[in-house]
């Protein structure tokens, strides 16, 4: 049994950030009721990759949730939402600020119905200020936060981080906020609002460039794969591909130097000197490594202190026994797609196992079931369907 | 009062990943007792940026914690650790697998002393398998997980994500695991082990490239700043710099096209067509935008549905009123550095405010205080100091 058994979530999330958050709630046993538009539902249903014309993307982030379709603009639809929330513990959403208020589902409105609700929202910029009215996408937030400026190479333009971490990381912060609020409610009986922004989340990842500029006025921009503080720490060309290596201290350097037969020179005696001379050092390292494939080079460092890995593509990563052993690739039986491979839960707890084998819902799959639980008659449900409320 | 008031954490973390996790515990009121090596302490104390020769980096991730120095290899040191843990709620660490066991502080050993302990660890690869004995650094895990392969441009090599998300993201997952375990203990009285790996964490961020390959055998590699699924969504050169823009659907496209006076052609009529013709489209967009600075271009989309932002460096990002209003840049009075600017807490809760105004500890600052609380006499403490146990 999940540790959130008996907990009910009314889930207005869509696309990536919000569903990434409520996925963990479902994994740990909460009943997550996803509200979807009558006309097509969550936009992620139209996003690839597809299997049997069904979105594996949607499936991946909505495993184990229930789907009810609803016209939130209609009075009857709002009534259903209130009925759902009366009995719920958590509401979450990632609409831009003001959207839920317009539908009568803002925090102040919901508190009237359910005073101890945990009301959790992701937005691009928060509920106040000039930017609050704007929708936010990962790439725009990456640009605004400064993240793009510190990702990539100095001789190339600013670079978007490949995976949409403006969504995933912010989703995880929201989940953490929900857990804090949940514990607080447990202790005090009190609900609260949890509010996380994509802009604040990504800014919070910038580490030393922010500290350096804010305190010393020094601008640190992108530096490709090389570390600013440790050398050698970079990726290097081999006979067939690349290898990532980090040599953290002088003792590791001695070991590394001997393995690759690099010169025992004063110029590389300390980390500071290796940093100053890193461009010559890199040439010398690559001169040695061109005799090895990445896998052969990796093997050179087996059993040493030195951290090294060939740079792997997805295909290779997917076969890593270390990942497979941790259930990071799971197979779910889906009613539409058949067996589909999805991504597992990276948190391992000895006493709380996540439930990861449930498929995602088809659009509106649980509409009837949920309405009947709320006490709606079959006749009423027919009427709601005929009037496109559900 | 923090919601974790009265909760005691014995914190073996160092560098970035672990301290990023325990920082949040300190923010919400837990007493975080950081165990540091007698000789120099946490390696992050030697990492820049510096202010008054003191590490602002260390300060940023260790705000509000207490520091005790300890020789973990000595019998007396281990006795102190047991004394600390007897009275603690949470142990956390980011040593590689096996290190704490060697010091007599593995989960099985600690459970004997404190059965309901929450024992939380970050490692590169987990406690089992061939790779478990290796230390892990962010760049090596980025290489192995597949993240480097999907970050950056097709015409450039694999690219490390600038900020060390192998550390920060994994740290946050550990924190989430701790919160789940904490709630479980609250409910059942039972402690447990929380185990998160950097490899699993980063793999869990890969989204569509994993789903596409695992289900359809199709390899998706890095594509720079352009979206794979939506067009136009990219960054564009302007008169002076770059601007990030995402045009999500046909209605936004109509608006965008009119603002920039782009051709009203069948070739751009649907998202699919705009994707197919995105390279010509990009040239046409940049042809228009070269007449505007990034700020002027941004202003063109004010009050429209279109998400756009100039690509900002850290200096500009640091002045964004939307970030400042959310306390993402805080000033802490530090006994060594004086006033120092650090990064705030991105989670906003209406009922649980984080404590973010406390400085980080100097090395061993609380050694005496903590030992006296454990009942050690002044004489004994003198002896421990003289013998370099503390």
Q: Is residue B194 within a helix (H) or strand (E), and if so which, with residue range? A: strand B192-197
pLDDT in tens, A216-232: 999 998 999 999 889 99
CB contact at 8 A, A356 and A345: yes
Instruction: Retrieve residue B312's tokens.
Output: 């900002």
Instruction: Retrieve residue A333's tokens.
Output: 């039986």
CB spacing of A148 vs B309 below 8 angstroms: no
What is the predicted pLDDT for the residue at A390?
96
Residue A1 has pLDDT above 70, yes or no: no
Residue A73 has pLDDT above 70, yes or no: yes
Cα-Cα-Cα-Cα dihedral sign, residues B76, B78, B82, B83: positive
- Residues in A touching B308 (Cβ below 8 Å): 140
| Minimum-distance CB partner of A162 among B151, B210, B347 | B151
What is the predicted pLDDT for the residue at B1?
61
| Minimum-distance CB partner of A176 among B172, B218, B233 | B172
Prior bond to A49 cis, omega within 30? yes
What is the predicted pLDDT for the residue at B184?
93
Burial class (CB in 10 A: 0-12, 13-18, 19+), A251: exposed
Residue A39 has pLDDT above 90, yes or no: yes
Give the pLDDT band of residue B271 (cuts 50, 70, 90): very high
- State the maximum Cα–Cα separation within chain B, in Å, rounded to a whole number: 87
Q: Please tell me the distance from the alpha carbon of residue A13 to that of residue A364, in angstroms, as a whole number.
A: 15
Q: What is the CA radius of gyration of chain A?
A: 25
What is the predicted pLDDT for the residue at A256?
97
What is the predicted pLDDT for the residue at B229?
85
Residue B14 has pLDDT above 70, yes or no: yes
% of chain A with per-residue pLDDT over 70:
100
Q: What is the mean pLDDT of residues B354-361?
A: 95
Cα-Cα-Cα-Cα dihedral sign, residues A20, A22, A28, A29: negative
Report the topology of domain B8-204+323-386.
Answer: Rossmann fold (3.40.50)
pLDDT in tens, A180-194: 999 999 999 999 999
Q: Please tell me the distance from the alpha carbon of residue B172 to that of residue B170, in angstroms, as a whole number.
A: 5
Looking at chain B, the domain(s) classified CATH 3.30.1540.10 span: 233-237+242-310
CB contact at 8 A, A364 and A69: yes
Q: What is the mean pLDDT of residues A74-99?
A: 95
CB spacing of A233 vs B130 below 8 angstroms: no
Residue of A nearest to B131 (CA): A322
CB contact at 8 A, A332 and A343: no
What is the predicted pLDDT for the residue at B126?
86
Q: Please tell me the distance from the alpha carbon of residue B125 to that of residue B270, in angstroms, as a whole number.
A: 44
Shortest Cα distance from B368 to chain A (angstroms)? 31
% of chain A with per-residue pLDDT over 90:
92
Specify the range with the lowest mean pLDDT, choosing from A125-129, A168-172, B229-233: A125-129
Q: Please tell me the distance from the alpha carbon of residue A167 to that of residue B246, in angstroms, as a whole number.
A: 15
What is the predicted pLDDT for the residue at B135?
81
pLDDT in tens, A257-304: 999 999 999 999 999 999 999 999 999 999 999 999 999 999 999 989
- State the maximum Cα–Cα separation within chain A, in Å, rounded to a whole number: 87
Q: What is the mean pLDDT of residues B311-330?
A: 94
Instruction: Retrieve residue B130's tokens.
Output: 């061939």
Task: Report the C-alpha dihedral over residues B262, B267, B270, B274, rounded to 10 degrees.
Answer: -70
What is the predicted pLDDT for the residue at A224?
95
What is the predicted pLDDT for the residue at A229?
85
Q: How many CB atoms lie within 10 A of CB B364?
A: 20
Task: Report the C-alpha dihedral over residues B207, B212, B218, B223, rounded to 10 degrees.
Answer: -30
pLDDT in tens, B275-292: 999 999 999 999 999 999
What is the total residue count of chain B? 390
The CATH H-level superfamily of A233-237+242-310 is: formyl-coa transferase, domain 3 (3.30.1540.10)
Prior bond to B232 cis, omega within 30? yes
What is the predicted pLDDT for the residue at B378?
96
Residue A88 has pLDDT above 90, yes or no: yes
Interface with B, mutate which of A39, A57, A121, A215 (most B CBs under 10 A): A215
CB contact at 8 A, A258 and A264: no
- Residues in B touching A177 (Cβ below 8 Å): 347-349
What is the predicted pLDDT for the residue at A130?
82
CB contact at 8 A, B52 and B83: no
- Residues in A touching B26 (Cβ below 8 Å): none
pLDDT in tens, B45-98: 999 899 999 999 999 999 999 999 999 999 999 999 999 999 999 999 999 888
Closest among B172, B308, B171, B205 to A164, alpha carbons compared = B205
pLDDT in tens, B338-347: 999 999 999 9
The set of residues, in sequence order, having a beta carbon less than 8 Å from that of B354 and lying 6+ positions away, is B2, B24, B27, B28, B345, B347
DSSP at A164:
-
CB contact at 8 A, B276 and A181: no
- Residues in B touching A183 (Cβ below 8 Å): 3, 179, 182-183, 186
Looking at chain B, the domain(s) classified CATH 3.40.50.10540 span: 8-204+323-386
Residue B128 has pLDDT above 90, yes or no: no
Q: Whole-prediction pTM value?
A: 0.96
Q: What is the mean pLDDT of residues B237-259?
A: 96
Exactly one of B71, B167, B195, B234 is catalytic; which is it?
A: B167
Q: Please tell me the distance from the alpha carbon of residue B175 to that of residue B163, in angstroms, as a whole number.
A: 19
CB contact at 8 A, A194 and A119: yes
| Minimum-distance CB partner of A314 among B140, B213, B341 | B213
Q: What is the mean pLDDT of residues A9-28?
A: 97
Residue of B nearest to A25 (CA): B180
Complex ipTM, two decimals?
A: 0.96
DSSP at A206:
-
What is the predicted pLDDT for the residue at A86?
96
Residue B364 has pLDDT above 80, yes or no: yes
Q: Please tell me the distance from the alpha carbon of residue B360 to that of residue B23, in angstroms, as a whole number.
A: 10
CB contact at 8 A, B26 and B32: yes
Residue B144 has pLDDT above 90, yes or no: yes
Angle between helices B278-289 and B250-260 in degrees, nearest 10 = 40
Q: Please tell me the distance from the alpha carbon of residue B99 to that of residue B37, in angstroms, as a whole number.
A: 14
Q: Please tell me the distance from the alpha carbon of residue B311 to that of residue A142, in angstroms, as a whole number.
A: 8
Q: What is the mean pLDDT of residues B113-136?
A: 90
Give the pLDDT band of residue A167 (cuts 50, 70, 90): very high
Q: Please tell me the distance from the alpha carbon of residue A329 to that of residue A314, in angstroms, as a whole number.
A: 12
Residue of B nearest to A221 (CA): B313
CB contact at 8 A, A119 and B288: no
């Amino acid at each position: 049994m999940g540790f959130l058994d008996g907990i009910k979530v009314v889930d207005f999330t869509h696309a990536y950030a919000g569903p990434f958050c409520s996925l963990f709630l479902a994994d740990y046993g909460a009943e997550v009721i996803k509200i979807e538009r009558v006309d097509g539902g969550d936009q992620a249903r139209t996003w690839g990759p597809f299997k049997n014309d069904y979105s594996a993307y949607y499936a991946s982030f909505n495993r184990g949730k229930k789907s009810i379709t609803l016209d939130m603009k209609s009075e009857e639809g709002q009534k259903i939402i209130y009925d759902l929330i009366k009995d719920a513990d958590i509401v979450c959403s990632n609409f831009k600020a003001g959207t839920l208020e317009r539908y009568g589902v803002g925090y102040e409105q919901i508190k009237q119905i359910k005073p101890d609700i945990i009301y959790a929202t992701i937005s691009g910029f928060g509920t106040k200020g000039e930017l609050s009215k704007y929708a936010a996408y990962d790439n725009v937030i990456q640009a605004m936060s400064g993240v793009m400026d510190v990702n990539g190479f100095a001789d190339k333009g600013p670079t978007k981080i490949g995976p949409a971490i403006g969504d995933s990381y912010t989703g995880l912060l929201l989940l953490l906020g929900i857990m804090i609020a949940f514990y607080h409610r447990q202790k005090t009986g009190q609900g609260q609002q949890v509010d996380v922004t994509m802009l604040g989340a990504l800014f919070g990842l910038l580490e030393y460039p922010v500290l350096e500029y804010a305190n010393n006025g020094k601008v640190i921009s992108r530096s490709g794969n090389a570390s600013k503080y440790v050398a050698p720490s970079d990726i290097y060309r081999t006979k067939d591909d690349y290898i990532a290596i980090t040599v953290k201290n002088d003792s590791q350097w001695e070991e590394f130097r001997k393995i690759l037969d690099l010169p025992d020179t004063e110029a590389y005696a300390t980390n500071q000197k290796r940093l100053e001379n890193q461009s010559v050092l890199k040439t010398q390292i690559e001169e040695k490594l061109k005799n090895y494939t990445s896998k052969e080079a990796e093997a050179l460092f087996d059993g040493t202190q030195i951290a090294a890995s060939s740079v792997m593509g997805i295909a290779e990563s997917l076969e890593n026994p270390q990942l497979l052993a941790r259930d990071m690739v799971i197979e779910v039986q889906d009613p539409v797609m058949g067996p589909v491979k999805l991504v597992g839960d990276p948190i391992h707890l000895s006493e709380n196992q996540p439930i990861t084998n449930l498929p995602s819902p088809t659009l509106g799959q649980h509409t009837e079931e949920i309405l009947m639980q709320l006490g709606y008659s079959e006749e009423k449900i027919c009427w709601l369907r005929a009037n496109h409320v559900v």
